[in-house]
Amino acid sequence: MAVKVVTDSVSDIPANIVEELGITVVPAYVRFGNTDYKDGVELTTDQFFDRLLNGPDYPATSQPSVGDFSEAYENVADGADGIVSVHVSSKLSGTINSAQQGAGMADAGCPIEIVDTLQASMGSGLSTIAAARAARDGGSLEEVAAAARDAVGRSQCICLLDTVEYLVKGGRIGKAQGMVGSLLRIKPLIIVRDGEVDSFARERTRRKGISRLQTAAAEYAPLRAAAVMYSTSRDEAERLAQALSASMSGEDQPIVARFGPALGTYVGPNALGISLLSE
């Protein structure tokens, strides 16, 4: 018997970690024109960014359906002591609501705990990974849920954008609204604070923006875990991950992850972010 861990695709957890830890990922939806695609299943990240940059339609996103969650819970429930479902901020998405309704509908035969990370991308992903590691180590439902909630309280997600254009188009500008209109030749940095997008800093060059990310990581150090996320420039992400390794408290190295289609809709190309889990 074991506890199963479920998340949504907005967590951006790399596929090798999902497989290693036995995490079930319920995909969000991305729409181009009149067609909906399951994030990462029916639309790859490369295909998404190609269409974002070169296609005629601007994408829209929607959370997994109640039925998607109900089906996922029933699929993993066989032989499970319980399910811990860890998700993107309820202030950014309706995913938590779908998960709660799906849990109520599912014929799972075991308890289901829903955790709101108040984060996005690997800010949510690091909490999911903490839960999955606790489950792998034989933790009870309460222990696995507690591992996720403990990580939630120590997580930060900061992102350097090439432009706020995509946040504005997607309606996710949040408390960073004040950055609009004053960002000619400025590289904006945003943070997920109290579950919402907020402004973090403004730098005049990309190089200074990346340096600001490194400074932020050092300020949060020592780090139990960290991730560097990118939309279109992996080499840049790998260099930043190497720089962040000095802030790690243990043997683990920063994870390099890619913003998937659901978040790529809002961060756009050339985005670079860090997610930090303080010690």
pLDDT digits (tens, 9 = 90+) for 74-117: 999 998 999 999 999 999 999 999 999 999 999 999 999 999 99
Q: Tell me the pLDDT tens digit for each residue of 242-277.
A: 999 999 988 889 999 999 999 999 999 999 999 999
Sign, CA dihedral 249-252-258-261, equals negative
Map out the domains of the chain with their CATH numbers. Answer: 2-27+63-152 (3.40.50.10170), 155-278 (3.30.1180.10)
Q: Which residue has the tokens 């408390």?
A: 175
Query: Of 170 and 85, which is predicted with more confidence?
Result: 85
With a CB cutoff of 8 Å and minimum separation 6, the contacts of 153 are none
- 29-32 vs 60-62, strand pairing mode: antiparallel
**Under a CB-based contact definition with an 8 Å cutoff, are residues 164 and 180 in contact?**
yes
- pTM for this predicted structure: 0.93
Q: Tell me the pLDDT tens digit for each residue of 121-150.
A: 999 999 999 999 999 999 999 999 999 999
- Alpha carbons 131 and 116: distance in angstroms, whole number: 13
pLDDT band at 165 (very low <50, low <70, confident <90, very high): confident
Residue 165: other Cβ atoms inside 10 A: 12
- What share of the chain in percent tops pLDDT 90? 86
pLDDT tops 50 at residue 60: yes
pLDDT value at position 170? 54
Q: Could you tell me which residues are beta bridge partners of residue 5?
A: 84
**Helix, coil or strand: residue 239:** helix
pLDDT tops 50 at residue 175: no
With a CB cutoff of 8 Å and minimum separation 6, the contacts of 185 are 204
Look up residue 125 and give its two tokens: 């992903």
Nearest to 66 by CA among 113, 106, 11: 106
Say what the alpha-carbon torsion angle 17, 192, 61, 91 is, to the nearest 10 degrees.
110
